[in-house]
Structure 1
Amino acid sequence: MKYSLQKKLIVKENSDFQKIYRCGRSLANKNMVMYYCKAFHPSHKVAFAAGKKLGNAVTRNRVKRLLREVYRLHRREIKDDYCLLLVGRAAAVDLKSTALEKSFYSLCKRANILKKEVEKK
């Protein structure tokens, strides 16, 4: 089975970003901030962000690429009725993907958005 992140799952519209910011709850650790809310689309969607404080465009794009990859690997473990916004923090600039994966997984666990069969592992 090929695991790819379909473009239709990624939030592109600014209004959708704002909906997730406004109606969503947030959790954070030193590597990322995760906003989550019940889906306002028929299926769940995800957005990725990295602010200018992280560095130049190359650095910000690397952080967003890492966030996309971490989400892609774990999206089947997340409940289908949630929209997510993942925001990279300065500590994520120098991280490897495995450390970012652990951060993402811990935030998902705290937010209680993992499917039941995954939580039992």
Structure 2
Amino acid sequence: MPQTVTLSENRDFKRIYAKGKSRVHALLVTYAMKNRLGIARVGVVSSKKIGKAVSRNRARRVVRAALRECGEIPAGWDVVFVCRVKTVYSKSTRIVPVMKRQLGELLPQAAARMADERTL
């Protein structure tokens, strides 16, 4: 089972935004990029457009809960999830299918793993 680490350095976020691939939805924006570290790194971002601190924290909490339901990110990938305004008013169960679709499009290993889970 791959280890997942939280992204925290601003330079890493900037690199992923500039060079990574992205998928957009009304609830969530996902950026992904390969890394050479052999571990998965994940960042969850919510801007001040979303609202005050309580709203931003709730949006991040909902996205993290959806990520736990989706499963592990494959090792060797950096993934950033950007919360949208509608994320605050959604439950994690509504975000899970969006997140799975975006990860499936961006990460080839994740798509194969999710297809295996559907057949079980």
Scaled by the length of structure 1, the TM-score of the pair is 0.84
User: Is the counterpart of residue 17 in structure 1 residue 17 in structure 2?
Assistant: no
Give the fraction of aligned pairs with identical amino acids, expressed as a percent.
Answer: 27
Moved over 3 A (4+): none
Q: How many Å apart are 1:115 and its aligned residue?
A: 5.0
SS in structure 2 of the partner of residue 42 of structure 1:
coil
Residue segments in structure 1 that go unaligned for 5+ positions in a row: 1-5
Q: How does 1:17-56 map to 2 (within 5 A)?
A: 17-56=13-52
Residue number among 42, 50, 55 corresponding to 1:59 in the alignment: 55
Q: Which residue of the partner structure matches residue 92 of structure 1?
A: 87
Give ranges in structure 2 of 5+ residues lacking alignment: none
Q: Cα deviation per residue 1:12-56 (whole Å; 9 max; x = unaligned)?
A: 111111121122111011101000000243311000100111100
For residue 106 of structure 1, what is the aligned residue in structure 2?
A: 101
Q: How many equivalent pairs are there?
A: 114
Contact 1:79-1:115 within 8 A present in 2 as well: no
Q: CA RMSD in A?
A: 1.8
